[in-house]
Amino acid sequence: MQIAILNGVNLDVLERRDPAIYGGISLNDLETQIYAWAKALGCTARCRQTNNEGDYVAWCHDALDWAGGVIANPGAWTHYSYAIRDALELFEAPVVEVHLSDIDHREEWRRLSVLADIASARVIGKGPQGYREALAFLAERAA
């Protein structure tokens, strides 16, 4: 199974963000770990990150043709981007919404997710390990 991992705005500077909230890991280290977890689960991962909402939407469209599952962490776009929501809603394959921090227990504005009702699963507040949980969920669905 091929899995698209789509990371959004500000995740490119992950290691500069509050380590108590985001885990103190760099995006490069996170992606290295994701590739290792995917391989161990018998999957192939393709990680992408952008600070451009249009690129994110285009990557969703591209993944429609090859991904058997999607892990989406749009960052702050989670809370208001209906363009990303609409692009993810096109998937017949499962979409897992992932957030490193526990957005349900942070600032009020972060508690809304425009993706929540279209996600097959949500993994929130588990740090980098949340991506492993999301990969395992998708791998089990494919089996």
Q: State the catalytic residues.
A: 22, 99
Tell me the two tokens of residue 134. Answer: 């999301």
φ, ψ of residue 69 in degrees (nearest 5):
-175, 160
Kindly report the backbone phi and psi dihedral angles of residue 2, in degrees, each rounded to the nearest multiple of 5, phi listed first.
Answer: -100, 130
Give the span between the Cα atoms of 71 and 118, in whole angstroms: 12
Distance of CA 92 to the CA centre of its chain: 17
**Rounded CA gap, 118 and 4, in Å?**
16
**Residue 109: CB atoms within 10 Å:** 10
